[in-house]
Amino acid sequence: MTGPTIGVLALQGDVREHLAALERLGRRGVRVRRREEVDDCDALVLPGGESTTMGRLAGSLGLLEPLRARVAAGMPAFGTCAGMVLLADRVLDGAAGQELVGGLDVTVRRNAFGRQVDSFEGPLAVHGLADPVHAVFIRAPWVEEVGAGVEVLAEAAGHPVAVRQGRLLATSFHPEVGADTRLHGLFAELVDG
C-alpha cells in the first residue's frame, strides 16, 4: 500500500475494524501505541471504545501532548464514537479530569443516547453521500454545540452525530462496523487534500 500513512490509535477499542476499512480502500494503516509512532503518521484515526480509558492510557504513555500538538498543527484526524469525544474541545458528562486531544470546536455529551441496552442501528443520511449509511450507535455521544467553523454532516434525535471542521472528521456512530467504507473515504479525501 502506498500513499500517506494513517495511524489508528491502538490503546483500546475498534482498532482492527478501522485498519480493515482502510485496507479495503487501499490505504496504509498502522497501529499507534508509542510516542514515536505519532510522528510517523500523516493522519490519525481515534477509534470507538471507552473515551475515559483511552484518555488515561494516552496520558500515561506520553501520547497526549504529541497528539494534541499534531492535531493543532493540522494533522487530519477522524474520531468515531469515543474518538469523537477525544477530539472534542469540550465534553459534558465526562469523568473528572477527563483527558482530551481536542482540536474540534464542539461540545460533546458522552453516552447521550443512553446505556449499552439503548444502543441501536439504522440508516442515516450523511451530507455529501448519495445513499444513507448504516449507522451503529453504541453508548454513543452526540454534539450539543458546534463552533462557527464546524459543518454538520448528519443528525439523529435532533442532534449532530457527524461533523467536519477543516481536516477533522468525527462521528458519534461506528462506520468501521460493516463493509461500507464511504466515511473512511471522506476522511481519505481530507488526508489527500
- Tell me the catalytic residues: 81, 174, 176
DSSP letter at 116 equals G
Distance of CA 34 to the CA centre of its chain: 19
Say if CB 105 and CB 149 are below 8 A apart. yes
Place of cell 501505541: 33
Give the relative orientation of helices 64-72 and 51-60 as an angle to the nearest 10 degrees.
100
Among 18, 83, 89, which Cα is nearest to 54's? 83
Is beta strand 133-137 parallel, antiparallel or unpaired with respect to 120-124? antiparallel
CA gap 6, 103 in Å, rounded: 18
| Cα end-to-end distance, the chain, whole Å | 18
Alpha-carbon distances, residue 97 vs 37, 91, 94, 139, 185 (angstroms): 26, 11, 8, 20, 34
